[in-house]
Structure 1
Amino acid sequence: MTSELAPEPSGKALPAPACTLGEGPTYDRHTDTAWWFDITGRKLFEYRMEAGQLSTHHLPVMASVLARVDGERQVLATESGLMLRMTHNGALSMLMPIEYDDKLTRSNDGRVHACGALWVGTMGKNGEHEAGAIYHVFKGKLTRIYDKISIPNAISFSPDGAIAYFTDTETLKLMRVQIDPKTALPLGEPKLFHHLAHGDGWPDGAVVDANGVLWNARWGGGAVDAYSPDGRRILSLDVPARQSSCPAFVGRNADRLLVTSALQGLDADARKADPEAGLTFLLDHAVQGRFEPDFYLV
Structure 2
Amino acid sequence: MTVPSHDARIYDTRICRLGEGPLWHPRRGQLFWFDILGGRLLSRSPAGEDLSWLFPEMVSAAGWVDDDRLLIASERALFVFDLETGNRTDLAALEADDPLTRSNDGRADPWGGFWIGTMAKTGAPGHGAIYRWYGGRLERLRGGMGIPNAICFAPDRSAAWYADTSDAVIWRQPLDAAGWPEGAPQVFVDLRPEGIHPDGAVVDAEGCLWNARWGAGQVVRYSPEGKVIDSIALPVAQTTCPAFGGTDLKSLYVTSAADGDTSPDAGLTWLVADMAVTGLPEPRVVLPRVALSRVVLAQEMPEAGR
TM bin, normalised by shorter chain, reads: over 0.9
The reply on whether 1:216 has 2:173 as its aligned counterpart is: no
Partner of 1:160: 156
Deviation track 1:16-72 (CA, whole Å, cap 9, x = no partner) reads: 311000000001121111000000001110123x42222011111101111111123
Partner of 1:297: 287
Deviation track 1:247-271 (CA, whole Å, cap 9, x = no partner) reads: 01110111111000001124xxxx2
The partner residue of 1:100 within 93, 96, 101 is 96
Partner of 1:142: 138
CA-CA distance at 1:6 after TM superposition: 12
Partner of 2:76: 80
- The whole-number CA distance in structure 1 between the counterparts of 2:147 and 2:7 is 27
Deviation track 1:101-135 (CA, whole Å, cap 9, x = no partner) reads: 10000000111111101111000011011111000
For 1:225, the aligned partner's letter is V
Deviation track 1:79-119 (CA, whole Å, cap 9, x = no partner) reads: 00101101212222322101011000000011111110111
Q: How does 1:1-298 map to 2 (within 5 A)?
A: 9-48=6-45, 50-181=46-177, 183-199=178-194, 201-266=196-261, 271=262, 274-284=263-273, 286=275, 287-298=277-288
CA-CA distance at 1:146 after TM superposition: 0.3
- The whole-number CA distance in structure 1 between the counterparts of 2:235 and 2:85 is 34
- The whole-number CA distance in structure 2 between the counterparts of 1:166 and 1:17 is 28
CA-CA distance at 1:200 after TM superposition: 5.0
Are 2:19 and 2:255, in contact at CA under 8 Å, matched by a contact in 1?
yes
Are 1:20 and 1:264, in contact at CA under 8 Å, matched by a contact in 2?
yes
- The whole-number CA distance in structure 2 between the counterparts of 1:229 and 1:6 is 17
If asked which structure has higher relative contact order (CA below 8 Å, sep 6+), I would say: 2
Are 1:16 and 1:54, in contact at CA under 8 Å, matched by a contact in 2?
no
Does the residue aligned with 2:12 lie in a helix, a strand or coil? coil
- The whole-number CA distance in structure 1 between the counterparts of 2:6 and 2:80 is 39
* CA distance 1:222–1:195, shift in 2 (3 Å): same
- The whole-number CA distance in structure 1 between the counterparts of 2:89 and 2:132 is 20
CA-CA distance at 1:8 after TM superposition: 6.3
What residue ranges of structure 1 are gaps of 5+ in the alignment? none
For 2:278, the aligned partner's letter is Q
Partner of 2:297: none
For 2:7, the aligned partner's letter is S
For 1:263, the aligned partner's letter is A
What root-mean-square deviation, in Å, do the aligned CA atoms of Structure 1 and Structure 2 show?
Answer: 1.8
For 1:42, the aligned partner's letter is G
For 2:23, the aligned partner's letter is T
CA-CA distance at 1:240 after TM superposition: 1.9
Are 1:75 and 1:82, in contact at CA under 8 Å, matched by a contact in 2?
yes
For 2:156, the aligned partner's letter is D
CA-CA distance at 1:277 after TM superposition: 0.6
- The whole-number CA distance in structure 2 between the counterparts of 1:15 and 1:110 is 22
CA-CA distance at 1:199 after TM superposition: 4.9
- The whole-number CA distance in structure 2 between the counterparts of 1:15 and 1:135 is 31
Are 2:91 and 2:136, in contact at CA under 8 Å, matched by a contact in 1?
no
Are 1:8 and 1:236, in contact at CA under 8 Å, matched by a contact in 2?
no
Deviation track 1:136-158 (CA, whole Å, cap 9, x = no partner) reads: 11001111110001100000000
- The whole-number CA distance in structure 2 between the counterparts of 1:6 and 1:284 is 10
- The whole-number CA distance in structure 1 between the counterparts of 2:99 and 2:260 is 21
CA-CA distance at 1:197 after TM superposition: 4.9
- The whole-number CA distance in structure 2 between the counterparts of 1:225 and 1:7 is 15
- The whole-number CA distance in structure 1 between the counterparts of 2:126 and 2:3 is 34
- The whole-number CA distance in structure 1 between the counterparts of 2:269 and 2:238 is 11
- The whole-number CA distance in structure 2 between the counterparts of 1:132 and 1:197 is 19
Does the residue aligned with 2:111 lie in a helix, a strand or coil? coil
Number of residue pairs aligned between Structure 1 and Structure 2: 287
TM-score (norm 2): 0.90
Identity %: 41
